[in-house]
Homo-oligomer: A and B are copies of this chain.
Amino acid sequence: MQLLNATATLGLGLALCSSTMAFAAEPITPIEAPTDVDAAKAEIGKQLFFDPRLSKSGFLSCNSCHNLSMGGADNLPSSVGHAWHQGPINSPTVLNSAYNLAQFWDGRAADLQEQAAGPIANPGEMAQPHNVALEVIASIPGYVESFSNSYGDDRIDLERVTEVIAEFERTLVTPNSRFDQWLTGNKQAITEEELEGYQLFKGNGCAGCHNGPAVGATLYQKMGLVKAYETDNPALGRYAVTGRDSDRMVFKVPTLRNIELTYPYFHDGKVSTLEEAVQIMGEIQLGRRFSESDTAKIVAFLKTLTGEQPDFALPQLPPSTPATPHPQPFGP
């Protein structure tokens, strides 16, 4: 009887603890916009992000494949690049990408600034040699003035261009999702079913990789941990960066923030629905077969991770001048 009492007391103590410290105990933490953004630089970066003149064709911008009207992605299995080149991998969302431990699926760029340089010059993406992209920007008085105002002189080089784009991307954070409201104390923010979905998500080990403020993006993991993932996509993940056999099929764990908006799923973009994605993850990462009912609950939880989307006026781009190199959409 005394033992029973002691257990009951301990139980009550734990319950109190888990109630008052719910926030700290959760593997997912609220996501927040940075407070140290250089607004002027981010504003230039926003214009450049939307400016197709960074591409050889004059037709593709960062926003073409990281469309901020559509969850920061293109909702295609793999992207369309210069001359309709079929991209090799699914375009990851730019939303909350500042939280990624590194950039690209294989983490080959250390940060957003390093990442930003890649697609501009990649022949299968924007296909614009960096020197031409810089010449274009430097020929546009609106940009020259903005850079001068921000940097104190009118030098326009790749470091500054990628710095301002990265500064803009740092602002692309999606706070205040219903799940974050729940995390920060509003227990009515999510439904019973969604909460059950979260408990299944935690209890089955999903949160082992998908945790932290971005619900992922903090580590690399093998795609197909307990069972090989079947795909005809030739990407090998981290192996391409490290050359280590153990890194074959090891990819950056993607963020699950706004996952409702960033279909299709996985690095090959082969999976269209969250239901299928959850079931495949269960099978190949956890060795579990989720019931339809559990899958539905987990999916319901995942949809609570949709946060406030970018909210700013459509940028207006400064016009070209006769000195601006012409875009080359067609031809060699």
| Binary contact readout A294-332 vs B (1 if CB under 8 angstroms, 0 otherwise) | 000000000000000111111111011010001101100
> Which B residues lie within 8 Å of A314 (CB)?
68-69, 310-314
Known: A69-B316, A263-B320. 9 other contacts (CB 8 A): A52-B67, A52-B70, A59-B80, A70-B317, A76-B327, A80-B329, A86-B330, A310-B314, A314-B314
A185 to B76, CA, bound (A): 52
| Binary contact readout A53-73 vs B (1 if CB under 8 angstroms, 0 otherwise) | 100011100001001111100
Contact A273 B322 (CB under 8 A): yes
Contact B50 A75 (CB under 8 A): no
CB neighbors of B among A62-112 (8 A): 64, 67-71, 74-76, 80, 83-84, 86
> Which B residues lie within 8 Å of A283 (CB)?
none
Contact B83 A59 (CB under 8 A): no
Q: What's the least CB distance linking A127 to chain B, in Å? A: 12
A86 to B83, CA, bound (A): 10
| Binary contact readout A150-171 vs B (1 if CB under 8 angstroms, 0 otherwise) | 0000000000000000000000
Copies of this protein in the complex: 2
Closest 8 CB pairs of A and B: A84-B84, A59-B80, A273-B322, A69-B317, A309-B316, A314-B314, A86-B330, A83-B84
Given A272-B326, A322-B273, answer yes or no on A69-B50 (Cβ-Cβ < 8 Å).
yes
Contact A261 B329 (CB under 8 A): no
Among A83, A260, A314, A316, max chain B CB count under 10 A is at: A314
A235 to B58, CA, bound (A): 23
A59 to B64, CA, bound (A): 8
Contact A59 B76 (CB under 8 A): yes
Q: What's the least CB distance linking A238 to chain B, in Å? A: 27
A319 to B275, CA, bound (A): 15
Q: What's the least CB distance linking A267 to chain B, in Å? A: 17
> Which B residues lie within 8 Å of A261 (CB)?
319
A310 to B310, CA, bound (A): 18
Partner of A58, one of B52, B68, B75, B319: B75
Given A83-B84, A273-B322, answer yes or no on A59-B74 (Cβ-Cβ < 8 Å).
yes
A52 to B330, CA, bound (A): 22
Contact B74 A315 (CB under 8 A): no
Contact B80 A57 (CB under 8 A): yes
| Binary contact readout A263-279 vs B (1 if CB under 8 angstroms, 0 otherwise) | 10000000011010000
Contact B312 A71 (CB under 8 A): no
Q: What's the least CB distance linking A202 to chain B, in Å? A: 25
Contact B319 A260 (CB under 8 A): yes
Q: What's the least CB distance linking A218 to chain B, in Å? A: 26
Contact B313 A75 (CB under 8 A): no
Q: What's the least CB distance linking A241 to chain B, in Å? A: 27
Contact A320 B75 (CB under 8 A): yes
Q: What's the least CB distance linking A318 to chain B, in Å? A: 10
Q: What's the least CB distance linking A216 to chain B, in Å? A: 19
Contact A329 B76 (CB under 8 A): yes
